[in-house]
Structure 1
Amino acid sequence: MSSQPVQGLPLLPGSSFRDATKTAFHRSQTLGYKNGFAFKRLPTVGIGGTRLHVNQLSQAELDELSNKRPTLTYGQPKQAPPADFIPAHVAFDKKVLKFDGYFQEDVPISTEEHFRIRQVGIYYYLEDDSMSVMEPIVENSGIPQGKFIKRQRLPKNDRGDHYHWKDLNRGINITIYGKTFRIVDCDAFTQTFLESQGIELNPPERMIFDPYTELRKMPLRMYVTPSDFDQLKQFLAYDKKVLRFFAIWDETERMFGEKRPFIIHYYLADDTVEVREVHERNDGRDPFPVLIRRQRLPKRLVEKKGTFPTCVLEISDQEVLEWYTAKDFVVGKPITLLGRSFFIYDCDEFTRKFLQEKFGISGIQPVDIRKPPPEEVKQIIPPYNGYGFLDDSLQNCFSLIPQAPRKNIIKMLENDHKVLRYAVILESPNPEDKKRRFVLNYFLSTDMISIYEPPVRNSGIIGGKYLGKTKVPKPGSPTDDPVYYEPADFTMGATVEVFGHRFIITDADEYVLNYMESNLESFPPAVVQSMRDHFAPRRAAAEAVKRLASGEPDKQEMEAVVEQLQEHMRRHNYLPDSNMQAAFLQQDQDGSGLLNKAEFFSLCDHFKIPVDDPLFKKLICLCSHGESQIRYPNFLRVFQC
């Protein structure tokens, strides 16, 4: 065998020979470093440093290949016909990309969970680039679940752009309407579609589950509480049991000091104390309810040197000899908490029962801490000097700057422009004054009185305003509390004394009687009856004038004449015709109840009515309406037996 290896033989069993002269079998290094970074490179030599004859091109060959362009043997290729246009709603019909994700929701009002993980499915519809978010239903979650965001095009930013399937990938966050969703994975179709479009998908992430929901799925643990007393047993026995003491912090010895109410809470579960301030309305203090936060309060501290910086160090068990306990809080005694002295004056019912059952303290009575009322100083009002109204003068005694007295606005609005007018005469021994006539006006809105004297020519007396609008007190009423005249005091013939002058009421407006009858509860019956008696003749005369003007007969006289005629007809056996009323109605074509005298007397002759009889003449006179008409319904009443 030749010492040179046989070249060009195929690598087949029996065709390969080992070179016995070869002693080096190392392989060349393919890892290189450039600018401090490792990179992979092709080997330059073979095993043992032999020269490689395969895939080895010179630099000239490489340059030639880089500049060479491919040529076609059979000429230019033919252009393929364009594909048919397929719209998106047909090409991507029922093709939906589905991503799995979640978002985190804060739970601020729960003590068991601070946040909540809610899993969602994000669907992207390729046919119209719309999206929807669906939340799977979790049993007993207590949250409305299902469709979270309805199908629509979702905005991506403030510029009006919308989310596209190119914006979706695994392991990214997307914000939709202020909520941030984390996409963790997608289904197989979505992965195949995105990869076919040249999108490199991020590796999938692990779905995060809600910790509170997972905790509820765990079985309940069974604990066995040891029999000896410990903190856990104390917590389980006295959880949510609090002693409440009512105290005050008295700092009246200081300048501008006051008594401030507080509530001391002693938590039996961990022997902690909390002091809360009781705010009152308009007390002028900022609404900070907690004076001392809930903590264990020391009762006796370890004696230390004066240089120990206790103001900057927290108190630990090494510095405290004794802590405050429930028996240190006694109703009726002061207690010092962190340098502040509080006086406990009461407690609630639960605290009373606990102190009695635990420590045998019974008969706890609250301490009265109310300030004694100041001695009432009676205000001495000086006597009325007679100037102005009494209400206006009293305002000078109530304030340094007098204010206008309060007025009854409702009364002024209801009785605005309502005035009662009376005719009065002056009671005087002077003969000239007996002929004088006055008008007294009572204003219901202000209870004031004014008197006016109508001027009379050649009387020698100047008429006009006799008394301006003012309140008139009754004679004999005290000056400091006068009683003023009221509408009930004005009756016919009553005497009204006005500042020493006596007036007698002789007449009144009819409005006075109408006002009294509409407000009977405000007037005595005697006053109303006297006014009615005064206006009775006047009203009767007015009724008579009104009746004469309207042509209606007097009812009493009419009834008397009808009765006389009916009695007269019975004595003479006069039987009326039954068709009489129908004939009169037929003659009255317009239905006015009136017939002219010619028609009326024609009907009377037809039914043989003795119109010449004096009683019938009187009845016809009463039924006459004007000079040429007669009211026949009143006339026919005689024949209705």
Structure 2
Amino acid sequence: MLRIPGMPLLPGTLFRDVGKHHYPKPQSLLNYQGLSMLNDRQQIAQVDSSGVVDISCPPVGAASVFPPRTGPRMPAWLAYDKKVLRFSAYFKQTLQEVYHAPYIVRKVKIYYFLEDGTLEISEPKVENSGIVQGCVVHRQRVPKAPPCDNEFMSMIDLNVDTTVQIFDRQYHITDCDQFTREFLNRRGVAVPDPVPEPEDPFMAARNRVIAKTKSSRDPKHAFAQFLKYDRQILRFQGYWDDRTEFGDVRKLELCYYLSDDTVEIKEAHIRNSGRDGPTVFLKRGRLPREFDGMLLPGQNTPVTLLNVLGTSMRNVRYCIDPLNVGHKEIYYYTERDLQIGAVINVYGRAVVITDLDPFTQQYYRERFGIEDFSPLPVPTREEDCIENNSEDQELPPYNGWGSYEDSVGNCISVEPKPPTKDFKKFIQLDRFVLRFGAKMLSTIKENCDRIFVISFYLSDDTMQILEIAVRNSGFLGGEFMKRTRLEIPGQERFSCKQPQYYMPWNFFIGATMSLKDFIFHIVSADEYTLLYMEHHPDQFPHANIENIMNKVRRALETRMDDFLGSCVPSCSDLESKQNVFVSYESFKGALIGIMGDTISDHEIISLCRHFSAEQVPPEACKRENVRAAAHLELKRALWNAREDLMEHFHHINPTNKPFLPESKVRSTIRGCRLPFSLELIDNILSILNRNECGDIEICDLMNFIDVSCGKGCDMPPVNLAFELCPKIPFLNKGRIVDFACFLRKLGLPIGSSDMVASKAKKVGDVEAGAPATFNPEEHHAQHDDQSDADQ
């Protein structure tokens, strides 16, 4: 609306503005903290995140030489939120109550908040300063000093090595933090280096007084040292050379405790040294470096007490002497003083360190970088050394009472003690028995037909002889000799040396030995004995294939043609044949014909078994019998957790594979606590269906243990561990020899004479050879048939 100047605001005196098109209703009032007031604030300036704005000045649209920056623009309170410039400053204050100090220096922190241009000053608290400290100036916009008091302070007014006046107090800025320095540098403001702060004369004088009153006592060991090094001990080996009259070299063990820097020394008593009693050479405590003599009681105390009040014992008051007058400082040994070759003064005794344990070596390697830990020799006096070798000790001759070990025990100790046994050997070899078949060699014809079984017990090297009863022989059979140790004949009985006893390696097929004045010839051995000897070739040389092959190779180097002619008399090209078999008798006869008595029967049997052409038959285990035994155990234990077993299989086999490895199936059966013994689990896993990789079918296992799926056969009362699937030994091993494999192992060149031949034999056409194992039942049957024919 337009009006005529000088005319009242009456109708008819106003004219409408024809060019006006915008009719706003401006908001001139606002509600601030419950009060209505005039809204005269300027609009908030919009800036980018990297710019700086002064809140007190409105934005001016002046021309700039730089192009306008593109990007989002934010208000200042959002762009500079939680961004603060921090400066370190101080001001001097004069106090009348401060003694001998013209002023005090008060250190403060100046905080400038970029979001709204406010400023805050805070003074860190100083212990026992006597001044109220904390916030000096609350957060607010601080005006500048006159004559510019109509303006407020900005960040341009704050810089290092400048003095600013804030409310009639002069602050000298000495430093700023890293963020403040980088922020001002990016804005083009140069920030000087930090300047030192002046010393406070009042605090300096007070520190001098406190230093005088401070006790000179050694500080107590920190509790952190105990927590860090608890149970960590450095062990050193050393000696004390006390080779005076009636003295000796004393071997010591020094223990240094890192938790409290204490030392303990123990003495290592040598056997038969004549020293008994406790081994503590020095009880645990701190070890001083110098020792001038024993101190009187009360002479070495941690503190000195002073009586500052009263003359009698009733009205007294004690205090600790801070100066500790008259106290002599004592230096103690630490881990830095202990090393190989160091001489330690242990209250007047020189202890030399010679060696240390692996933990101590690692500690010194990591802590001090020491790498050389070569031990030092311990000195001894050769004239005082008494050789005490129990093996070469000469004992009185055996008197015939008891065993030789009993006589040795009576000579060593006054109190008779039973001979000690090798308990470790007994635990390892208990129930390990080697059995051999033997015949008696005698001038009496009837004794030559007697058959014996010699059992050798590996746990204590004893033997037992049993006789097998033969029909119409006149001998009942049974125990021929009780279990005992036997000496090798031909030794002097009443001698000072320990007699030689029969050992396991003295027994082999073909050996002849005298036992209790009876001569026995070993003719066979059971399958367990042969396998045990083959698995321990270092103990049994007659079952060592490498030694036997070396012996045969040396014997056949010059007579290879004769050996081949004895084994395979048919002449053809031997090298053109891949499979050449010979019988045990032919192979044995050829070796004995060449080597004679230099090779034993047991060595020949070991060769035939090693190069045997027979295949071991699979173990017979019926599926129905195993299933009946499994169902019997399930019913006996009332097991009905078939769903849990299925859930466990689904957990380990989320893809539902039809086959799983045997190890997982075995662990699942044992983990789900199926009431099966280890032997029964082995039997079950051996008969389940498998794929070409050897994995077990899960569906077959679940149907196998399902009691409701069909009725199995009745289970007889047998021992499931031994009689369900008996492990029958393969007794025919070694009857047929793979001669081609033997020749390849022998490695000798084959001659070109006509006697070199090959003879491919079938297993059924081979002549029956002598059995390599002893079978009493077969001998009984043959003897019975011969007796019937004679009658």
TM (norm. structure 2) is 0.26
Higher relative contact order (CA 8 A, sep 6+): 2
Larger radius of gyration: 1
